[in-house]
Structure 1
């Protein structure tokens, strides 16, 4: 008969579908979030289902500040045991290295990719300061009023919204002046009252004002129309060659063992592949995008190159 040690070894191998926590250890897994609104909501949707897979609580902890860098700092300092994870948008990996002279982390070395979960784009809204009701009219207005071509972005400098404005300027050959906003509601009010010609930010925050006729959502920045406003074209469909999105993934600290990463990847991808997940995320204009660690790394690598080219072509001065 096989020895007790051999039997236990086989049981351990069979049970590796979950991270290597002790059976009596029911301490929670922390899922950090460094951004608000749709990102925080996505984290909570995943956490609710992930707790069932892990058999332990999964607690979402918001650590806002410095464009997710506060939360990334905590993740970097955490033990690589699967107890601390973070849901991160791609900006800290694809944009920040090109615009900040010094970062407190190394994007490729200090974190372990676990799974891709979603992507999002932004909407472009105009208001009373411009008569533009679609993208061709906005392009014409910008070219006719270059000194007035001012756009707001939230959450401001270094965000996807900021770079959608840069991309628009490059695509039409007329640079736009950028005004950063920490929060989108303030900028959207400025658009609706005519103090600001246009705003680039998350589409979900624009819906109510758009339907009330206080501003006009004229396009979205990604490759597919939003289910929130299916009649609003993408920028590419509207004749402006801009296709800019942000990938969202879950990461752990550097040095996580494969036997800890693999079951987390499997569980998270399973959650992100369900119709329920898709339907819940739709209210924030967030699209499911399940991906393996290798696929997530490849997408982030492509975004890194895209934004490197944007920064260089725009002449944007790193801070």
Structure 2
């Protein structure tokens, strides 16, 4: 028998759903802001998403760079926004899957504070050496590192501490029992200049920024981190093909604040995903070292959960000491 309390609860839930629906309808023409906390290929891809949403939804959609703190500034602004669909964030998986294990306290909950909307792309990082090392294979690079004095076998990573690039370097060091010292670079361009100039022996970062200098012979890409070779440098083996049992790929996705209405999430997902089947978009993503990953919000959440478990093991094995965020 229905109680007065259950009746009131039902009426309250219905009122909230009705209010969300009205807000959604009223916001149909309101501008959408996509925050992005990383430059280069992330900013490029965010603008492709904005173009697609603008066309599909008929709403002004802009990209606002919010750089700094390893994407945490962008995530924090999205977290604090109202769940009305006007503020979204485009981010990599690192802040959701890696950061919980490397920082003592985050100012956001990677699960509870966000609404996953759509997976967009996946990409690898690459291991490159410069004239300081002179290696033409990953095995030669490892041999060079083992012959150095403690602290002299240095690898740089961008975007630095806690990034996929950082942990791929730590994974290589663990898998080959080779002590290596990490140096963080906020910007891959600076690290690549140091690499080509002989001031840095090894650099690990996204593939795309390395390709031009690799083809010019100024640096050498020795391996990519994913399960398959990249069409940008098909001659370069994967880490596993090069003899190191390490494989790691990161994903990107669009998120909103927690509490976004499910109908809005479905509509936004339907607006974003079709572009990933467009051959022209695929080519533009490939030029950035990315492959399309048209995941649903649920698939994106599940992928991040799996990645969190994997990095929990890796961070513990690496002996990484947690930092203050």
| TM exceeding 0.5 | yes
Tell me, yes or no, if the aligned pair for 1:113 and 1:250 is still in contact at 8 Å.
yes
Name the SS of the counterpart of 2:24 in structure 1.
coil
Partner of 2:142: 139
Partner of 1:166: 170
**How far apart are the structure 1 equivalents of 2:255 and 2:71?**
13
Partner of 1:68: 71
Say whether 1:53 aligns with 2:59.
Answer: no
Unaligned runs of 5+ in 2: 1-20
User: What are the superposed Cα offsets for residues 187-241 of structure 1, whole Å, 9 maximum, x if unpaired?
Assistant: 1121112211100011111112112211111111112222211111111111111
Say whether 1:207 aligns with 2:203.
Answer: no
Name the SS of the counterpart of 2:294 in structure 1.
strand
Tell me, yes or no, if the aligned pair for 1:50 and 1:271 is still in contact at 8 Å.
no
Say whether 1:89 aligns with 2:92.
Answer: yes
Say whether 1:281 aligns with 2:285.
Answer: yes
**How far apart are the structure 2 equivalents of 1:193 and 1:70?**
32
RMSD: 1.6
Q: 1:195 to 1:102 in 2, by over 3 A?
A: same
* Pairing partner for 1:250 from 247, 251, 254: 254
Say whether 1:240 aligns with 2:244.
Answer: yes
User: What are the superposed Cα offsets for residues 122-171 of structure 1, whole Å, 9 maximum, x if unpaired?
Assistant: 11110111121111211222223253321001111111111110111111
Name the SS of the counterpart of 1:75 in structure 2.
helix
Tell me, yes or no, if the aligned pair for 2:142 and 2:178 is still in contact at 8 Å.
no
TM superposition score normalised by structure 1: 0.91
**How far apart are the structure 2 equivalents of 1:204 and 1:80?**
34
**How far apart are the structure 2 equivalents of 1:210 and 1:285?**
14
Q: What number of residue pairs does the alignment pair up?
A: 302
Equivalent residue runs for 1:1-319 within 5 Å:
20-22=24-26, 26-145=29-148, 147=150, 148-319=152-323
1:311: Cα distance to partner? 0.6
Name the SS of the counterpart of 1:301 in structure 2.
helix
Name the SS of the counterpart of 2:282 in structure 1.
helix
Tell me, yes or no, if the aligned pair for 1:152 and 1:181 is still in contact at 8 Å.
yes
**How far apart are the structure 2 equivalents of 1:277 and 1:34?**
22
User: What are the superposed Cα offsets for residues 92-135 of structure 1, whole Å, 9 maximum, x if unpaired?
Assistant: 11111011101100010000000100011111110111121111
**How far apart are the structure 2 equivalents of 1:273 and 1:264?**
16
Tell me, yes or no, if the aligned pair for 1:80 and 1:254 is still in contact at 8 Å.
yes
Unaligned runs of 5+ in 1: 1-15
